[in-house]
Structure 1
Amino acid sequence: MINLMDMSGRNVMVTGAAQGIGLEAAKLLYALGARLTLLDANPQKLEQAVEGLDPQRVLAQSGSVTDRTFLEGLVAEAAERFGGVHGLVNNAGITRTAMIDKMSVEQWQQVIDVNLTGVFNCLQIVGMDMKRRADAGDASPGSIVNVSSDAGRKGTIGQINYGAAKSGVLGVTMSAAREWGRHGIRVNSVAYGVVATEMTEVVRSEKFRARYLASIPLGRFLEPAEAVKSIAFLLSDASSFITGQHLSVNGGSHITA
């Protein structure tokens, strides 16, 4: 029986891989047979994340998606070791919460630097490796999945920086898909609602829980292990003719015509 989700022989780079969605994505992709290139800004958590994994299938380094020199070195090493980077999960992100009138320029810039410029950095550097292989005759050079959010589609209170960055990720996705489609490189995004991670603890607290659940037709928050199935789908052959799309994974909280 053909398994369209089989990732054997492919190297997938996951950013923000030491916790939350990134960690669950790495676990699922590894179980599907992928080789992994993992990065995270937290070296201790990253070390814990790779415990028990076959070192022959995993390359893990701690660093920031804002550091292009680091990223270029990591992608070069991954390409040499695994024959290329065949998939990218552009997931790394941070929050700096404040209402508009109280948000500092530093809080704004920190989130834009990681959540938007960091996405561009990884997409560009990994994409160039994919394009190199496409130019050499590889008909399926790779798939990129950018992690966005409902915050980028309908706004969010207290996180104008986060909402702006995640909205920007949607534009990055569509533009890259248009430019690189002729090379066989697919670029899509997943737009999550409220995922049960450390980043959403305030939203899921007793003060706000009922309000948010009332807006979700399925009536529950999204678990990280469930969320990353959409990422695996967009990386796999099951989505071979899908590019430039935003897959809403939010229990129906953002339904449009």
Structure 2
Amino acid sequence: MENPMNLEGHNVIVTGAAQGIGEAVSRLVVGLGGKAIMVDMQRDKLEALSEDLGQDKTDVHVGSVADPAFVQSMVNDAVSKNGAVHGLVNNAGIVRAAMAVKMPVQTWQEVIDVNLSGAFYCLQAVGRHMMERAADGDTAPASIVNISSDAGRRGTMGQINYGAAKSGVLGLTMSAAREWAAKQVRVNSICFGVVETEMTETIRSDKFRDGVMSQVPMKRFSDPEEVSRPVCFLLSPAASYITGQHLSVNGGYTIGV
């Protein structure tokens, strides 16, 4: 039986690819037969990952998704080198914590620039390419997966900037999905709960762990390898009739929401 999640021949841009979820997704894309076009600001980590996965199966692009000029140049280069981009995983993100009444404007703006505007710049640049291919009669796969968060559905204390950005990502997903569905360009989002990465070290600390865990029916956190699988599902032919959806991957944290 053919593997419905086979990504052979798929060129997939993964932002925030140097560590955590982005690294795990890049590894699985390659493991499923695809090519990972990896984007991050951490050159050393990207180059080490590329060496590990195989330079023929990866491309490395160093820069910030918050820079629209870099994003467009990166997409143009990826298309030029590989012929086409078939998938995008909008994963790059940062956190800058502060309570709402004390949050400096710069702290607000830094998170919005990366987590929301950066997601839009990548979605727009890749979407243009995918729509152009479709207009030329190209029926090759075209799938975008935006990484959101439970914070975008339920809010989050001390990170109103992050919660607002991740809510905005849901809006990006639905709007782009409606605009591009007729051309078979699929756009979906994934809302993660607590994944064991550097970004969640504080919430997984002794101070907060028990309180957070008490709200997770499965009574455990996830790890990057585990959550990379639903991302690649949405990229793959197995999800060919799914668009405009928000998939919760959080151990049941948002049951009923």
**Normalising by the residue count of structure 2, what TM-score does the alignment of the two structures yield?**
0.98
Residues 211-242 of structure 1 show CA distances to partners (whole Å, capped at 9, x for unaligned) of 11110000000111001111000000111000
- The 5 A counterparts of 1:49-88 are 49-88=49-88
CA distance in structure 2 between the aligned counterparts of 1:193 and 1:124, rounded to whole angstroms: 26
Identity of aligned residues (%): 56
Residues 95-116 of structure 1 show CA distances to partners (whole Å, capped at 9, x for unaligned) of 0001111110000000000000
1:25 matched residue in structure 2: 25
1:211 matched residue in structure 2: 211
Is the CA contact (8 Å cut-off) linking 2:186 and 2:242 kept in structure 1? yes
Root mean square deviation, CA, Å? 1.0
Is the CA contact (8 Å cut-off) linking 1:134 and 1:141 kept in structure 2? no
Is the CA contact (8 Å cut-off) linking 2:50 and 2:59 kept in structure 1? no
CA distance in structure 2 between the aligned counterparts of 1:70 and 1:56, rounded to whole angstroms: 23
Residues 63-116 of structure 1 show CA distances to partners (whole Å, capped at 9, x for unaligned) of 000112211121111112211110000000000001111110000000000000
CA distance in structure 1 between the aligned counterparts of 2:32 and 2:2, rounded to whole angstroms: 13
CA distance in structure 1 between the aligned counterparts of 2:103 and 2:46, rounded to whole angstroms: 30
**Deviation of residue 184 (structure 1)?**
0.6
CA distance in structure 2 between the aligned counterparts of 1:85 and 1:35, rounded to whole angstroms: 10
Aligned length: 257
Is the CA contact (8 Å cut-off) linking 1:140 and 1:185 kept in structure 2? no
1:226 matched residue in structure 2: 226
2:238 matched residue in structure 1: 238
SS at match of 1:51: helix
1:170 equivalenced with 2:174 (yes/no): no
- The 5 A counterparts of 1:105-120 are 105-120=105-120
1:5 matched residue in structure 2: 5
CA distance in structure 2 between the aligned counterparts of 1:10 and 1:228, rounded to whole angstroms: 16
Is the CA contact (8 Å cut-off) linking 2:13 and 2:87 kept in structure 1? yes
Is the CA contact (8 Å cut-off) linking 1:89 and 1:146 kept in structure 2? yes
Give 5+ residue unaligned stretches, structure 1: none
**Structure 1 letter corresponding to 2:109:** Q
Bigger drift between 69-78 and 231-240 goes to 69-78
CA distance in structure 2 between the aligned counterparts of 1:10 and 1:26, rounded to whole angstroms: 12
Is the CA contact (8 Å cut-off) linking 1:90 and 1:119 kept in structure 2? yes
CA distance in structure 1 between the aligned counterparts of 2:219 and 2:60, rounded to whole angstroms: 37
2:35 matched residue in structure 1: 35
1:199 matched residue in structure 2: 199
Bigger drift between 68-77 and 153-162 goes to 68-77
